[in-house]
Structure 1
Amino acid sequence: MIEDHRQPNIAAAAAPADSIVGEELLVDSSTDSDSTFGEAADSTTTSLASSVTNYRYEHGRRYHGIEDGRYSLPNDDAEVERLNLQHKVWEIALNGHLYVAPIEHESLNEVLDVGCGTGAWCIDFADAHPGVQVLGTDLSPIQPHNVPTNCQFIVDDANEVWVYGERFDFIHTRTLLLGVKDWKKVLQQAFGALKPGGWIELHEFHIPIACDDGSAGPESAVMKWGTSMYEGFKKFGVDSMATAKFREYLEEAGFEDIRETHTKFPLGPWPRGDKEKAMGALFQKDIGDNLYGLSVKTLTQGLGWSTEEVDKFIQEAKADMNNPQIHTYFPIDIFWARKPR
C-alpha cells in the first residue's frame, strides 16, 4: 500500500458543502515574511506496468505517448510528486472527505475516476469502501502496483467513445480540465455510463488565476502567466474556463439535482486561518516549484515563445508567486448532479 497517501481516518461520508473553504480569503498581515506552513510528505514514483510507455521527451520532461497534443502537462516522476502534493491540498480543502455528493453507500457497487493521475483518490476511496470496485482511468500509466484489491487502473482517453455501458454508481473527476477538449461530449458519455440514480462529481479549477485585493495587477508577471496559459491552452483546443458551462452541459445531458459550490486555493500562506495557510503553502509549492514544467510546452508550442523567453518569464512569475505581499489564488468550482432514477 501507499503509506504517504492512505490515511486510516479518511472520511467515508460526503463533505458538507458549507465546510469547504469559502469564497472569501482574508489576508493575514503576519505572512509578510518568508515563513511557510507545513511540509509535504514524500510520495511514491512507482509506475504501473503497461505496454503504453512509448513516452516522448521534450524540454527535459517526459510526456505521455498517446496522440501528440492531447495533453500538454508532463507525466514523469516530478509530475507524479506534484500530483500527489495536489491531492493533499484537496484533502485539506474537503476536511479529509473524498466527495461532496450525498451518495447512498448501500447502493454503491462500482465507481469510476476519470483522469485519475497517480491514482491517489482511487486508492483512498477503495480503502474507505472495501466492498466497492473502483476503476481509475488516465492517459498515462503512472499509478502504483501495490493497491487495494478492489482498485484497478487502465489507460484510457476520456475524449474518445466510452464503452462501459450503464455501469457505475458514482463518477468522479478532479483537475481533468486541461485534458478535455469537449466537456459537453464527456458529460453526455458520463450520463450514459451511470446507473439510474447514480451521481457525478466534478472538482475543477480554472485559469486565468485571480487576485481580489489589487496586490497583483494585470501587468504583473503572475497574472500575465495566467492569461498567457489560457491563450496557450486555446491553441491546443482546451478551454481552461470551461467550468462556466458545466451547469448548462449537465442539464443538457439529462442530469437533475445539479448543485455547485465555489472556493479558492490560495497561492501561498497569505490568508488567515490555519486551514487556509496549510492549503496555500502546499499549493504554492505544488504550482510554484513546478511552474516551468507546467508551462513550457504550452508557451512554446501553443504561443510560439522561445525557451529563453519562457525561462525569463517563469522566473518572474515564480518570484511573484513566492512574494507574500502578492495574494493570488486559483478559482475552484465543484459540481455534483444525479442521473434520474
Structure 2
Amino acid sequence: MSDLERYSRQILFQQMGESGQVKLLNSKVAIVGVGALGTVIANHLVRSGVGFIRLIDRDLVELSNLQRQTLFDEEDARLQLPKAIAAQKRLNRINSAIIIDAVIADLNLENAEELLMEFDCIVDGTDNFMTRFLINDVAVKFGIPWVHGAAVSSRGMFASIKPGITPCYRCLFPHVPSGTGETCDTVGVLSPLTDIIGSFQAMETMKILVGEKTTPNLEQIDIWDYSTMQMDISEGRNPNCPTCVKHQFDFLNRSSELQVAYTTLCGRNTVQINPRNKRELDVKKVAAHLKKSGKVTGNDYLLRFSPDEDISIVVFKDARVLIHGTNDVVKAKLIYSKYIGN
C-alpha cells in the first residue's frame, strides 16, 4: 500500500478505490495542446496518478499566457521555453513517479497516428477545429476514446467521445466552420473558465480510464452570468457520417485539399509554416546564419530572430516556423524565403 499512499484520499472515494487507482497508474494519456486547458488537465492527471502522459504542443511560453496557463511562470516566458518542456519540468516536480513525455510539435497528418495511436485516451487542449477533426480521425481509426473541450470569453463546453459507442466529433460538427470565429486572442477568456472546463475534462478522462460512465451530453456553461445547458448527444450519431460510419479519414488523407503548409493562427497576427519533409535543424547553425541579418535569441529548443521591429521569426528544431507580425500568408512566404530558404 505504500506506493499508493500519496493517492490515499482519492482511493477513499468509493467509485475509485484501490482497483481504480491501479488502473490509472497503468494508463497512458495524450494531451494535445498545453495551453489554458491543457495545463489544467495535465496538472490533475499527474496529481491523480495517470502513469504515462504525453504532452504535445507547438508553441512557446509568452507573458500573455500567464493569466490562465497555470503551469507556467515569468521565468518560463523569459527563457522562451516551449510549453511542452516548461510543463514537463513543473509536472516532474509535482509527481516524479509519473512518466511525462514532452513533444514539441504541431499535430498534423504526418505525425498524428504515430503520436496518438497507442494511448488509452486522448484529451483535447487545442484551440482550433482542424486539429480536433484530426484527433477525431485518429481516435475513430484506432478505437481510442477522447475528451473534447473548448473555452472562449466566459463560455465553455466539453464532451466525451467514444468510437463505436457515442457520436464522433464529425457527427456533431459535420463541416469545418468557415472563417475563424471567436478565439481567446480576439475576444479574450476568463481564467476561472479554463480551470473549470479543464477540470471537467480531467474528470471525464479519469472515468474513461477506470471504466466508469461518462456524461452523455455536450455540456455547456457560461460562468459570467452562470448559465448551463446540457445537450444530450447519445442519439446523435449521423448514419451517413464519413468518419465513424464510412471510415473515410479525410483529415489523415494526404491528397485532401484541407492539408496546408501555411496556417494563419487566428487573432495572433502570426503565420505558421510547416516543412514539407520531416527533418531536424541544428538551431545553432541557423542562429549563426541569421545573426548576420538581425537580433537572435534562443535556447536548446528554438530560436527567435528579429530582422526588424515589426517581424519576429521563431524557428523550432523540427524546422517549423512561426512568423509573428503578419497574418498575410503571401507576405509570410516572402519573409520565410528571404531568411530561412525553401
Larger Rg: 2
Q: Which has the higher contact order (CA 8 A, sep 6+)?
A: 1
Task: Give TM-score, length-normalised by structure 2.
Answer: 0.32
TM-score by length of 1: 0.32
